[in-house]
Structure 1
Amino acid sequence: MVILESRVASNWVDYNGHMNDAEYARVFSLAVEALMEHVGLDEPGRTRHCYTIYTLETHLCYRREAHEGQPLSVELTLLDRDTKRLHVFFKLHDAEGNLLATSEQMLMGMDSDSGRPAPFPTPVEAAVAALPLASPSDWPELAGRTIAIRR
């Protein structure tokens, strides 16, 4: 499911002539915001439910360069979920469908008043339950990776 469409902004391009590594993280952060909107946690939803989502952990893999003005799309795969957490996998593609980067993330639902983890509000839970969940046969190849020097 495509959750975000964007374009490489000129101020995202670094001295190497391509999108800076920090800007890939920005695009995936924007994808989290788009996911939040999709499940009813836009600004009015966050206020109404006194609820938000925090990012607990991110694993970003860079695959190809992106250049100024280049169209981008971010695809979402829900790997797992429980009453207050989402394990998501994002793929960043260019207009030709080339994989530019991936971001695997653990997201946590938070009660905005207490600042503590809390179960998803009922309408948000219903929207989360409607997201397509990856099966073991379509688990992304780059999900669950660890960082290590291979010997």
Structure 2
Amino acid sequence: MTREIARRLPLHRQVVPAEWIDYNGHMSEGYYSLAFGLATDAMMDATGLHAAYREATGCSLYTVEGHLRYLRDVTEGAHLAVRTRVLGVHGKKAHFAHEMYVVDGAAAEPARDTVPVATTELLALHVDQELGRAVPFPDTVRERLAEFVEPAPEWAGRAVAPVGGAAG
């Protein structure tokens, strides 16, 4: 079923600070995860899973699985724009993806032909922190997330391929 996407989530923006740079002169791998984590926080804020929601309900999103691809080097001072796509929401699960781009600091959006420097695909659970277990999204939250659902990018759903032949 095809439907028009009602709206897109805002881009998360970040300038790469010196402390994120490793001994090779590029952004260290852990900081890709940090930047993507900040983009997840921004997505949560934009969809109503913000601090007030967490305080009122005791519920939050917990990432339980992820797949990160490092595609290009990122250097100090680079202006990052992270695009977030909600790929699906059902019951107590949310499936989403982030694409990280290096952009001109003044650019409103990455140019159409811009290639991402990294991507991540994530599965998160809606967790009641007091109960210590996943619980279904309230209808209003599920519906709000569903407003942002868009088709998965071609790279989503892939797994890490094993290297070489049989073990032994």
TM-score, normalized by length of structure 2? 0.81
Structure 2 gaps, min length 5: 1-7, 105-113
Match of 1:54 in 2: 62
Q: Decide whether aligned partners of structure 1 residues 3 and 85 sit closer, same or farther in structure 2, where only a CA change above 3 A counts.
A: farther
Q: Which moved more, 1:141-150 or 1:108-117?
A: 141-150
Alignment of 1:1-151 (within 5 A): 1=8, 2-95=10-103, 97-134=114-151, 139-148=152-161, 149=163
Native 8 Å contact 2:83 2:98 kept in 1: yes
Native 8 Å contact 2:89 2:142 kept in 1: no
* Counterparts of 1:49 and 1:128, CA distance in 2: 17
Give, as a single letter, the amino acid of the residue that structure 2 aligns with 1:118: V
> The residue matched to 1:99 in structure 2 has which SS?
coil
> The residue matched to 1:109 in structure 2 has which SS?
strand
* Counterparts of 1:120 and 1:21, CA distance in 2: 32
RMSD value over aligned CA atoms? 1.6
Q: Which has the larger radius of gyration?
A: 2
Instruction: Measure how far apart 1:150 and its partner are.
Output: 6.6
Deviant stretches of 4+, over 6 Å: none
- Higher fraction of strand: 1
Structure 1 gaps, min length 5: none
* Counterparts of 1:69 and 1:145, CA distance in 2: 31
TM-score, normalized by length of structure 1? 0.89
Instruction: Measure how far apart 1:75 and its partner are.
Output: 0.9
